[in-house]
Structure 1
Amino acid sequence: MNFENSLAFAEGLDHIDPLRDFRSEFYIPPHQGGDAIYLCGNSLGLQPKTTAEVIAEQLASWRQFGVEGWFEGSDPWISYHRRLAGPLSQIVGAKPEEVTVMNSLTINLHLLMVSFYRPQGKRLKIIMEAGAFPSDQYAVESQVKYHGFNPEEAIIEVAPREGAYLLETGDIINAIRAHADEIALVLFSGINYYTGQVFDMKAIAKAGHEAGAIVGFDLAHAAGNVPLRLHDWEADFACWCSYKYMNSSPGGISGIFVHEKHFGDDQLKRFAGWWGYKLNERFKMTQGFVPEAGADGWQVSTSPILLMAAHYASLQIFEKAGGINALRQKSEQLTNYLEFLIEQINQKTGKEKFKIITPKDIDQRGAQLSIICTQNGKQIFDYLMQNGVIGDWREPDVIRLSPVPLYNSFVDVYKAGTLLAQAAAKY
């Protein structure tokens, strides 16, 4: 598409956008009597207008049935989590029985590593990306220490080449092959939070398995953002948060994926809890853990119904919008338009005022551009915030802007570009 740097052009794109009406299903933060330009869905998605209603339905069940709400009413709580499995499985590319919702992301990562980080002999190392989100680094470090190993020896980090910001897929594959007989687990994020780079998860899974390792993914920035095919890629496990692109409330409930090839493995260790016990025998209260079939067998604690209700409200919107593939088409256009506007600023100033470190290849990025400000970055970011552009600042010099297809418009992107140009001229 040939883009134009004009309000009329952006309005024209919004006019023909088949997803334009979904913006009205979200609360947009206000700014000076109008709507803010919210480009921070990579950190926290906006609230669907149906969220309060869906939560209220469960509050009504609690009010009417008390404890019998677990078994009475139109949505008995005992199986409420299964309502989310179908929509979620479509988003992450899995079978419904391979996904479940529970806990929060880092807790789930720990629980899954109990099952899938199984060091034996010299095969004890974990390979991961350098610069992963800190919680992943801390989780991996503590798991390695728990098994009695030195993190400096047991963790292999794959870093970008000198002077580069992005990882080459070939370098990841080569690192896996180079340490093939030492690796117990390959653990990568689906999208690097800082650069916005989408990793080639299919290739990573293939290389990891060829090396004889287990392969898992943290999809915090990928789930609900880009199409995933976890089952077809034969990932062993994955986990994600739901409060970014899936708009499930601050700190909303997390989700996990376990490939069906592991369901029959009774040698897998896990930290068990009552809620993961086989449902049709759960209330016998007997000793000896017998897991529920599928990913549900990794559940530990009683399901938090109100958090799941908030998540369900957003998943219903995903289904109405036609699913992740429909959203992806608009996402690519929004991000491409933002890239075009930033390049226009650089051309006008005659220098690279803003350096986009997110990959230019649309297959290697989602709904995010990470922009290095080559001078006065914090002042530029503050100017955007003061003028109603809500983005994200990462030290020392990066602004992350994330146009989300469900609620952002092309006019949003145009206005953000205009304000970015003003800030560039001012600072």
Structure 2
Amino acid sequence: MSNLFSLEYAQQLDAQDPLSAIRQEFSIPKQSNGEEEIYLCGNSLGLQPKLAAQYVNDELQQWQKLGVKGHFSGDFPWMPYHEFLSDGFADLVGAKVKEVVSMNTLTANLHFMMVSFYRPTATRHKIIIEDHAFPSDHYAVESQIKYHGFDPTESMVLLKPREGEETLRTEDILSAIEEHGQSTALIMLPGVQYYTGQVLDMKIITEAGHAQGCNVGFDLAHAAGNIPMKLHEWNVDFAAWCTYKYLNSGPGSVAGCFVHERHHSNKDLPRFAGWWGHDKDSRFKMENHFIPMESAEAWQLSNPPILSLAAIRGSLDTIKKAGGIQKLREKSLKLTGYLRELLEQELSTEINILTPKDTAASGSQLSLTVNLHGADGKQIFDAIEAAGVTCDFRYPNVIRVAPVPQYNSFTDCYRFVMILKQAIEGAAS
């Protein structure tokens, strides 16, 4: 451990990293002095893959040259373009190809999924979510409950960590499901908690929810592209994710959605329908009788924005170049593990790491609070940002740092801790 906090040691780890060349597939932002930023914000917005820019430009050229004929011409015609993403999505979330689709945006997809999977009755009307859910999820759930005529104060079950703790215990989640299960219509939780970076046990939560007769869905905004999953095997009812964090597909890019195949043939399952969810063979007959496809595509409404899908395809192809999510996870465990070791060795009394140390309960992100009298996290955040670090801050006092295995290096981690240490020393002096 004596040489852990040294530039030479970090560079040695980079030299031994079989995925180090993938960094060259990304455009790294520059500081005002021309040096590359230490970009540790992939949990908020991933960097641009060079293939994404290339693929978007390809489609602009197609539009320029072909006009409307681009829907049916070229190597990647627009009409079925969303299908070119399905293999990549299926690999990332552990699904069958027919169980995934690219459509809409994350919160919109959560709403559309709740149309189908939140069917409250007088005796079964609750939704179990976490107390510190991402605000958009909370708003969506609360508005769905109100839409169905129920009172959120009675129908929302909010999971909270124990007093003095920052993360949820699995046994407490299961206890809440046991307590409220018979009156719960839906359990909707994150795969990875946005604030703490905690990975929830989706498999056991799904099993517990189904044992009580509840539908179970997950927001995978911070999980997709971060950790391997097995949604089909775990029997999850639905899931939704954005593609601009660990999937590096650009701000506001089109989201992804999963619907387990056992729901595909249920013609009585309510949904909001649009013509892009209609059977492909008869869609252009323009008959006003909805025939849903027997796949997750049945939940589509309209033809998607091709330029955004092109960026996603570029990102998925870049992930494929890296060897897929399993290879990325292997590097992530080493990269984030190294960052944690540095922090614990150099700043053990000055910072607290909220993210669980158990690798089964954590992904790329580490959430930090500063234990420094007279200095808050925002003050430290501003100082490290001025020194060339890009991460993010979440009120009231958390700095979120995410070394992403696709484009971050062990040297990035070393330099970040050196800058953080200097910022803390400066605030303390």
TM-score (structure 2 length as normaliser): 0.97
> Aligned-pair distance for 1:108?
0.5
- Counterpart CA distance in 2 for 1:55 and 1:158 is 42
Equivalent position amino acid for 1:25 in 2: E
Aligned to 1:156: 157
1:400 aligned residue: 400
| Correspondences of 1:315-330 after superposition (within 5 Å) | 315-330=316-331
Q: Structure 1 stretch 286-295 or stretch 324-333: which is displaced more?
A: 286-295
Match of 1:391 in 2: 391
Match in the other structure for 1:245? 246
* Structure 2 partner of 1:174: 175
Answer whether contact 1:3 1:337 (CA < 8 A) is retained. no
Aligned to 2:25: 25
Task: Report the secondary structure of 1:209's partner residue.
Answer: helix
Deviation at 1:121, TM superposition (A): 3.0
Report the AA paired with residue 357 of structure 1: L
Segments ≥4 residues shifted beyond 3 Å = none
* Equivalent AA in structure 2 for residue 111 of structure 1: F
Shift of 1:76: 1.3
Structure 1: unaligned runs, 5 residues or longer: none
Q: Alpha-carbon deviations, 1:14-54, whole Å to 9, x = none?
A: 00100000101101110122100000000000001122210
User: Could you say which residue in structure 1 is the equivalent of 2:100?
Assistant: 99
1:316 Cα deviation after fit: 0.1
Distance 1:99 1:3 in 2: 46
Residue in structure 1 matched with residue 9 of structure 2 by the alignment = 9
Letter of the aligned partner of 1:319 in structure 2? K
120 and 2 in structure 1: CA distance in 2 versus 1, 3 angstrom threshold = farther
Aligned residues: 423
The amino acid across from 1:287 in the alignment is N
The alpha carbon displacement at 1:64 in A equals 2.0
TM-superposed deviation, 1:246: 0.3
Give the CA deviation at 1:137.
0.1
- Residue 421 of structure 1 aligns to which amino acid in structure 2? K
2:140 is matched with which residue?
139
Matches within 5 A, 1:30-49: 30-31=30-31, 32-49=33-50
Which residue of structure 2 aligns with residue 361 of structure 1?
A: 358
1:426 aligns with 2:426: yes
Distance change (3 Å), C-alpha of 1:47 and 1:271: same
State the one-letter code of the partner of 2:221.
A
Q: CA 1:33 to 1:152, structure 2 compared with 1: closer, same or farther past 3 Å?
A: same
Deviation at 1:379, TM superposition (A): 1.8
Alpha-carbon distance in structure 2 between the residues aligned to 1:254 and 1:313: 15
8 A contact 2:365–2:401 mirrored in 1: yes
Superposed displacement of residue 171, structure 1: 0.4
Residue matched to 1:311 = 312
Tell me by how many angstroms 1:2 deviates. 9.1
Is 1:3–1:340's contact at 8 Å kept on the other side of the alignment?
A: no
Give distance in 2, aligned partners of 1:217 and 1:398: 24
Identity of aligned residues (%): 52
State the partner residue of 1:413. 413
Q: Structure 2: how far apart are the matches of 1:35 and 1:124?
A: 51
CA contact (8 A) 2:51 2:318 kept: no
- Preserved CA contact (<8 Å) 2:244 2:252: yes
Partner of 1:115: 116
Measured after TM superposition, the shift of residue 128 of structure 1 is 1.0
Q: Distance in 2 between matches of 1:334 and 1:245?
A: 15
**For 1:148-297, what aligned pairs fall within 5 Å after superposition?**
148-297=149-298
Give the CA deviation at 1:160: 0.4
Cα distance in structure 2, aligned partners of 1:2 and 1:14: 18
Q: CA deviation at 1:343?
A: 1.2
Partner SS state of residue 265, structure 1:
coil
User: Any conservation in 1 of the 2:347–2:421 contact (CA below 8 Å)?
Assistant: no
Determine helix, strand or coil for the equivalent of 2:80: helix
State the match for 2:63 in structure 1.
Answer: 62
- Superposition RMSD on alpha carbons, in Å? 1.1
Q: Indicate whether 1:372 and 2:348 are aligned.
A: no
- Gaps of at least 5 residues in structure 2 are none
What's the secondary structure of 1:177's corresponding residue? helix
Question: AA paired with 2:304?
Answer: S
Give how far 1:345 is off: 2.5
SS at match of 1:399: strand
Q: Distance in 2 between matches of 1:282 and 1:92?
A: 29
Shift of 1:58: 1.1
Kindly report which structure 2 residues correspond to 1:312-351, keeping only aligned pairs within 5 A, or say none. Answer: 312-347=313-348
Give the letter aligned to residue 332 of structure 2.
S
Give how far 1:346 is off.
2.8
- SS state of the match for residue 181, structure 2? coil
- Tell me how far apart the structure 2 counterparts of residues 12 and 389 of structure 1 sit (CA, whole Å): 22
Using structure 1 for the length normalisation, give the TM-score: 0.97
